[in-house]
Structure 1
Amino acid sequence: MYLENVSLDAHDPRLLGRFWQGLLGAEPLTDGPDLVESRLAVPGGPVLDLCFPSVPEPVAPAPRLHVDVAGGTRQGEVVERALALGARPLDIGQGDVPWVVLADPEGNPFCVMEERPEYAGAGAVAALPLSSTDPARDAAFWAALTGWRPVPGSPLTALQHPSGLGPLLELCPEAAPKDAALKNRMHLDVRLEAGDDEDAVVARVVELGGREWEPGWGRLPWRLATDPSGNELCLLPARRP
C-alpha cells in the first residue's frame, strides 16, 4: 500500500484546484466541473495526487488536516504569490509565529512555513499536519498503511516517504476530540497494490486501532475507514494491470 492522494472537498473544484496548482506548481491531470486532479511529484521521492471533488457541505472551522506550504528563504515571495492567486490573510489566534497563516479561495486555512532543517527536500509541500489524540499510536497506524518512516529529530511526531524526500506527515496533539458528526474536509487516500486483500487490509486497520467507516453513502468502488483518532481515509483498490 502507499499514500496516493490528498483530497480536499470543494464547492468549486476548478476554482480551488487551479489555485493549488498555481501555488504548488502541480501538474494538471483532470479538469472537470465535479472533480479536478493534479499531480505533485518530488524527484526521487513520492508522487502525490491532489484531488478536489465537488461537495455541498460548508467549510468547517478548525480543520484537522491542512497543508503547510514550503516557504523557506523565499517565504515572502510564496505568500505574495498565494495572495495574487486568491488567498487572503487569516487570523486563527496564531499570535507572533514565524509562519504565515492564509486561507485559500474557499476559506481553507494553510500555512506558508519558514525555513526548517526537517523540511529540506520536502518539495512544494513542507508538511501535512494531522490532529491526533495519541501521536505515537497514530504514527504507527499511518506507517503500517503507507510505509512512511519516522523522522528523527523532528519536533513533532512525524513520518516521511522512505526516500527521505517529500512532505512530512506530522501527528499533532489535538486541542479537542473529533466531532464524529463532522467529516474532515481534507483527508488522505491509501492505494492498495496487486496482491493486497481488501478484507485483510480493513482487518489490519481495525487491529491498529482504526475502524471501517460506513456513512450510508451506498456502494462505492473503495472502502472507507478512520484512523484511531477518527480521521477519515479511503482505501482505494489496487490498479488493474
Structure 2
Amino acid sequence: MSGFLRYRVGPYGAATCPGEFQGCDDSALGAFWAEALGWGVSSEGPGVTNVEPAVFDWPDAAAVCVDVVTVPDPETVNYRAHLDLATTSAAHQAELVTRLQELGATRPDIGQGDVPWTVMADPEGNLFCVREPRPIYRDIGPVAAVVVNCADPPAMARFWGEAMDWTLHEVTDDHARLRSAEGVGPHLEFLRTPDPESVCGRVHLDVKPYPGDDQAAEVARLRALGATDADLGQGDVPWVCLADTEGNEFCVLTPG
C-alpha cells in the first residue's frame, strides 16, 4: 500500500479519490488551499479540484494532496480529521495567519484556550491549525501533519502503521505520530479526544496502492487488519470504501 495520503473534502457518492475536503464550490475552495499551500490546481472531473505541489510524481511521500469536491449540502459537524500547517518561526506563523485571513480564513473559538498554535477555518468552515515552529516540522513543506481525533491513539497508530507501512515516531496513551518510512513529508498524528464525533464528517483520508499492486489484495489485507466495509451510498465506483478500527471512513483507490 502506498504510504501516500490524499486529504479529501467531498461527497461520498460523487466522483472522488485520495484525502478530501467537502464544499459547495470546489474551484473557489481549491483556489484558497492552493494559495495557502503555494501549490497548483488541476481537475480530474466536474465538481473536483485537485490541489498538488507544482513538481510532483505520483506516488510521492513528500506531499499530501488535497482534493476539494462539491457537495450540494455540506454537513456542519465537528470533524475528526484536520490539517496542521507548518511554520519556521514566530514571525512566519504570524505572517501566515494574516495572509490566510486575507484569503478568507477566519479564527473561530472552539474552546482551544491559550495554546501556541492558531486555530483557523477555511472559507467554508473546515477547521485547520497553523502550528508554532517545532523542530520535528522543520524542512517539511507547508503541511506539518494530518491530525485525527480518536479514542485510542496507540491502537489507531498500529492499524494505520501496518496499513501504510509508515514508521511510528512517538506513542503515548494520548498521542501517536507516524511518518513515511522514507522520513519525508507530513506526519499522521492521532490525538486522544473526549467523545470524538461519531458522525460522518466532510474530511477523510484516501489511500492509493502503488502502481502494479492489486487493489483487491490491498482491500483484503486492510480487512484482515481490522478495517470494515462502509456503505455510504457510493454506488458503482472504482474505489472501495472502508472504515478503520474507530469507524473513520476512508477510500482505497485504484493503483496507477
Compute the TM-score of the two structures, normalised by the length of structure 1.
0.89
Please say if residues 215 and 255 of structure 2, whose CA atoms lie closer than 8 Å, have aligned partners that are also in contact.
no
Q: Give the Cα–Cα distance (whole angstroms) in 2 for the partners of residues 12 and 158 of structure 1.
A: 33
Q: Name the SS of the counterpart of 2:156 in structure 1.
A: helix
Q: Which residue of 2 aligns with 1:231?
A: 248
Q: Distance in 1 between matches of 2:211 and 2:33?
A: 31
Distance 1:34 1:114, change over 3 A: same
Offset at 1:54?
A: 0.9
Which residue does the alignment assign to 1:5? 6
Aligned equivalents of 2:235, 2:32: Cα separation in 1: 31
Q: Which amino acid aligns with 1:142?
A: W
Displacement of 1:198 in angstroms is 3.0
Corresponding residue for 2:87? 71
* Higher mean C-alpha deviation, range 24-33 or range 83-92: 24-33
Match of 1:169 among 170, 188, 209: 188
For the residue of structure 2 that corresponds to 1:136, the secondary structure is: helix
Task: Report the equivalent of 2:127.
Answer: 109
Per the TM alignment, residue 53 of structure 1 is displaced from its structure 2 partner at its CA by 0.9
1:31 deviation in Å?
8.1
- Cα distance in 2 for residues equivalent to 1:216 and 1:59: 16
The percent of aligned pairs where both chains have the same amino acid is: 38
Taking the aligned partners of 2:94 and 2:223, their CA distance within structure 1 comes to: 44
* 1:185 Cα offset (Å): 0.8
Residue by residue over 1:133-185, the C-alpha shift from the partner in whole angstroms, topping out at 9 and shown as x without a partner, is 22112112112222221124898311111222221100111321442xx3221
TM-score, with length taken from structure 2: 0.85
Residue 211 of structure 1 and its aligned partner are, at CA, apart by 0.6
Is the CA contact (8 Å cut-off) linking 1:99 and 1:113 kept in structure 2? yes
How far, CA to CA, are the matches of 2:43 and 2:207 in structure 1? 19
Deviation for aligned residue 1:127? 1.0
Query: Bigger CA drift: 50-59 or 219-228?
Result: 50-59
- 1:85–1:32 CA distance, 2 compared to 1 (3 A): farther
Partner of 2:236: 219
CA distance in 2, matches of 1:118, 1:93: 26
* Counterpart in the other structure of 2:18: none
> Structure 1 residues 166, 195: closer, same or farther in 2, change over 3 A?
closer
Aligned length: 237
Change (3 A) 1:177 1:102: closer
Partner of 2:15: none
Gaps of 5+ in 2: 9-20
CA distance in 1, matches of 2:44, 2:221: 35
CA contact (8 A) 1:157 1:171 kept: yes
Other-structure match for 1:91: 109
Q: Where do 4+ consecutive residues of structure 1 move more than 6 Å?
A: 41-44
Contact 2:107 2:119 in 1 (8 A): yes
Give the structure 1 partner of residue 220 of structure 2.
203
2:214–2:255 Cα contact (<8 Å) kept: no
Once the two structures are TM-superposed, the CA of residue 19 in structure 1 deviates from its matched residue by 0.4
Three-state SS of the structure 1 residue aligned to 2:29 is helix
Letter in 2 for 1:12: D
C-alpha deviation, 1:41, in angstroms: 7.2
Tell me the SS of whatever aligns to 2:130.
strand
Q: Which residue of 2 aligns with 1:34?
A: 47
Q: 1:185 aligns with which of 202, 208, 233?
A: 202
Deviation at 1:30, TM superposition (A): 2.3
* Structure 1 residues 190 and 32, CA gap change in structure 2 (3 angstroms): closer
Match of 2:37 among 13, 16, 24: 24
Distance in 1, Cα, partners of 2:50 & 2:167: 26
1:122: how far off?
Answer: 2.0
From the superposition, tell whether residues 227 and 20 of structure 1 become closer, same or farther in structure 2 (CA, over 3 Å): same
Secondary structure at 2:64's aligned position in 1? strand
Task: Give distance in 1, aligned partners of 2:96 and 2:243.
Answer: 33
Distance 1:42 1:156 in 2: 32
Query: Which amino acid is 2:132 matched to?
Result: E
For 1:99-138, list aligned pairs within 5 A.
99-138=117-156
- RMSD of the TM alignment (CA)? 2.3
Equivalent residues in 2 for 1:46-57 (5 A)? 46-57=62-73
